[in-house]
Amino acid sequence: MKNKVLLGLVVLTVAVTFLCGGCAQKKELPPKDKIRIGQAVSLSGPLASGNAAASSPYYDLWVKDVNAEGGIYVKEYGKKLPVELIIYDDKSDVGTMTKLLEKLITEDKVDFILPPWSTAMLFAAAPIANKHGYILIGGAGGAEKLKEVKLPYFFQVLNFSETQVPTLADILTELGVKKVAIIFIGDLHGVEYVGRAVPEFTKRGLEVVLKKEYPMGVKDLSPLLKQAKALGADAFCGFSYPDECMLVTGQAMGIDYNPKVFFLSVGPAFTFYKDAFGPAAEGVMCGGAWNEKTSPGAKKFAEHYKEVTGKEIGNYWGALYFYSSMQHFKQAVEKAGTIDQKKIRDIMAKSKFDTALGPFWYDERQIFVNHPGEIGQWQKGAFEVVDQGKKRTATPIVKPAWPKKK
């Protein structure tokens, strides 16, 4: 009898321990009424114009759309959580950006982060995000060097030199270009693009007659343009940001330098460039690219943006990419049912979701691969995709001569 009682007590003790252990494992979640997303980005300084035209409006639209639906449904909270943005100005300075990003993560303890603007900024931000186990969906920027580092929490969205330069080289060959002049900004964007361009151009028999670096904040590029013209370069490539694109276009017009191809990497895809130069934008090429013909979702996205903001789309490179990347992110959060970074990251890395751009997914390197285009060109007021192959929406043209001043 005594043994039976002891056995019963042991069984009861084990059962209680097991049940209590199970209770202990179920962690109570702290109350939560919103998802806080932080961003350190250029609101002032030389990178601000690009961010204002090409990036921030499309993240803002995504937030508005999500909140109009009540927020993102998170199963572990059993409800939709609206999104709140917390934004700091990095003043176009990498050091400031990194400090602010650390602050957002360690002091503000935001739930998620958005990317800064520009390749160099993104290159500096990715290791910080990865160190803290924060997902960073790369927006405006892309670097081949990021592939060399193991960054499981970083996702590359935009096209970059690896994808765009070979496409550009094929187009130059198609248009009968013989000599190319290259100028480039002395940061990671410019350095990587020129590093890829020289061998790609040379491989196709194109002669690179000029290769010159310039600093951020440059005020006069006419000496380099005059060299390009004197050397007979029938293609001009500027691996540049928007402020320099505006500068170099006006100065090329001023010296009447009319190459067959006038390519600027970051700037002409923004409609403020077309609005500023009017008919002179005809034939100018740029990195990109998409337009309303890209997909039914792209057309709907452009119409929706105008309906909400009262403005036309201002960016025919990143806008559709950024918005769609956040649609992909939202679906990953909802599938994960949690705001746990690792669980969401694992779903993002393996899942294909429908977005405004179309099917959106990342390859094994966590690089988005379904680009609607690599190179665009202004033709008759539309930004056309001129890549060789099925993504082409128009055949590339030789840039007409700059309009004569009246």
Report the predicted TM-score, pTM, of the whole model to 2 decimal places.
Answer: 0.87
Question: CA-CA distance, 263 to 285, in Å (whole number)?
Answer: 5
Domain with CATH 3.40.50.2300 in the chain: 35-156+295-360, 161-289+375-385
pLDDT at 197: 98
Work out the average pLDDT over 289-305.
94
Closest C-alpha among 284, 184, 175, 180 to residue 235: 180
Q: pLDDT tens-digit profile of 179-218?
A: 999 999 999 999 999 999 999 999 999 999 999 999 989 9
Q: pLDDT tens-digit profile of 77-94?
A: 999 999 999 999 999 999
Q: How many CB atoms lie within 10 A of CB 16?
A: 10
Per-residue confidence band for 404, with pLDDT thresholds at 50, 70 and 90: confident
* Topology adopted by domain 35-156+295-360: Rossmann fold (3.40.50)
Asked if the peptide bond before residue 289 counts as cis, ω within 30 degrees of 0, the response is yes
Work out the average pLDDT over 285-314.
94
Per-residue confidence band for 406, with pLDDT thresholds at 50, 70 and 90: low
pLDDT at 323: 97
Domain 161-289+375-385: CATH architecture, name and number where available: 3-Layer(aba) Sandwich (3.40)
pLDDT at 338 over 90: yes
CB 263 within 8 A of CB 238: yes
Structure tokens at 99: 């400090």
